[in-house]
Amino acid sequence: MTNLDKQILDKIKDLEPIAKWKFLARNYLLWSSAIIFLIFASFACAWFIYLVINNDWEYSKIIAGNFWDFWIASFPHIWFVFTVAFLLISYWNLRHTEKGYRIQRKHLIFLNVLIILFLGFVFCSFGLGNTIESIDLEQSKIFNQRKVIWLNPGGGFLAGEVSQINDNSISLIDFDGKSWIIDILDAHVTPYTEDGVKILGTQTGENTFKAKEVLPWSRIFLFEKDFFEELSN
Amino acid sequence: MSIRGFENTTDEEVVKLVLKDQKYFIILVKRYEEKLFRYISRISNFNEPEREDILQDVFVKVYVNLNSFNSNLKFSSWIYRITRNEVINNFRKFKRRPQIARIDPDDDFMARIGSQLDLEHEINTKVDMDNIKNVLNQINDKYKEVLILKFLEEKDYREISDILKIPMGTVATYINRGKKELKQKIKKYDKLR
């Protein structure tokens, strides 16, 4: 036995191999984190898709004056950032699993993006996107600027839930909880759902608003309607 | 402990024995100490006592982490990976710039790489061996590391991928780029003569 062999054996004499479960746990932790963050990314993507689809691109000039100002004010940047951040965390975890290095970086990212987009569309289709509407106004400033944009009666924009329908007017509780009487005599009213309405018009008093256009607050996305109907049945 | 009688036992089988009884670890030490010492010399510029220290640390890490060895991987790939990581750790520890040592290829290596590059003719007749060695030492370290594993350590693509923890496609790319760079430098050198 050489001197080096002896030194090596002396060094390991009092050591024990680390238990196998610790390595297995690390690998399971990486896989679970990768999957969890992939799902988080898909949730964020679903909200992003919902907000992009429901964004009022056709009214961009009326709302912000020009397309780019509207884009900056209303684009759901936060959900895009969350989607990318969760995607990267998921990618990092996958990359550090036992055999994660065997897949090309670009292939792994592409695969993750595909899964997130697919799940994002599926979640959005089954109504997950809609849940973003349940957050309060304070949080909306960050997570759903659309509500903030449409709570500007002085500027001619109002949104909320219809509480009562009369012949020439509707009663509305806006997303900030304030009650309004909306004059719809000369307005073009598009059929809407219980999600709420958005109204273009002019503020005529403290609690009164004359509508030019009454539109549904959100668009129904793919299977969302059927899914809700099935749920209610 | 004598290692006679274990010549036909695979590394993976020896690992199982070591996990039952530490005394079998000497078999792995004997099988790999020379190869790994040579590999450390090839991928670093540490002096001999430093290389010995690194080698000792490698075997300690191998022993301590033996349960993390996955039999889907070749044991040699796993131990080479640990060795490479230990060398990198030592670069950091001594705040030394990672630098691959000068390659000192033997005749077999020259024959292997010559045939791979389609340069047997140049190597045998035009450029002398020392100059080829100089050219070999001028190529990018990233490619040189892969060429060392391929042509000096004689590892296949899968093994290199497992040692360096990069995809096989990237290994192939590095080898091709390394060979291309080497070929260009040899031809350039040849023209200058």
Q: What's B83's domain CATH number?
A: 1.10.1740.10
- Segment B88-105 shows an average pLDDT of 71
Structural domain boundaries, residue A67: 20-134
Last residue of a domain, one of B93, B126, B151: B93
Residue A46 lies in a domain: yes
Helix (H, G, I), strand (E, B) or coil at A204: coil
Structural domain boundaries, residue B69: 11-93
- Which residue has 């709420």 as its token pair? A196
Report whether pLDDT(A216) > 70.
yes
What total of structural domains would you count in chain A? 2
Closest residue in chain A to residue B3, using alpha carbons only: A1
Residue B180 lies in a domain: yes
Are residues A4 and B65, on separate chains, in Cβ contact within 8 Å?
no
Last residue of a domain, one of B58, B93, B128: B93
Are residues A4 and B167, on separate chains, in Cβ contact within 8 Å?
no
Residue A121 lies in a domain: yes
CB < 8 Å to A99, chain B: 72
Q: Clarify whether residues A30 and A123 are in a common domain.
A: yes
- Quick one: pLDDT at residue A210? 94
Residue A226 lies in a domain: no
CB < 8 Å to B29, chain A: 5, 8-9
Buried b (16+ CB within 10 A) or exposed e, A171-190: bbebbeeeebebbbeebeee
Does B20 contact chain A (CB < 8 Å)? no
Could you report the predicted ipTM of this complex, rounded to two decimals?
0.78
Question: Of the candidates B29, B67, B68, which has its C-beta nearest A8's C-beta?
Answer: B29
Task: Convert the pLDDT of each residue in B18-74 to its tens digit.
Answer: 999 999 999 999 999 999 999 998 888 888 999 999 999 999 999 999 999 988 889
What total of structural domains would you count in chain B? 2
β-bridge pairing A179-183 and A208-216: parallel
Does A185 contact chain B (CB < 8 Å)? no
Give the span between the Cα atoms of A209 and A202, in whole angstroms: 6
- Quick one: pLDDT at residue B185? 80
Residue B108's pLDDT band (cuts 50, 70, 90): low
Contact (CB, 8 A) for A152 and A138: no
- Quick one: pLDDT at residue A176? 86
Element (H, E) at B91: helix B75-93
Residue A225 lies in a domain: no
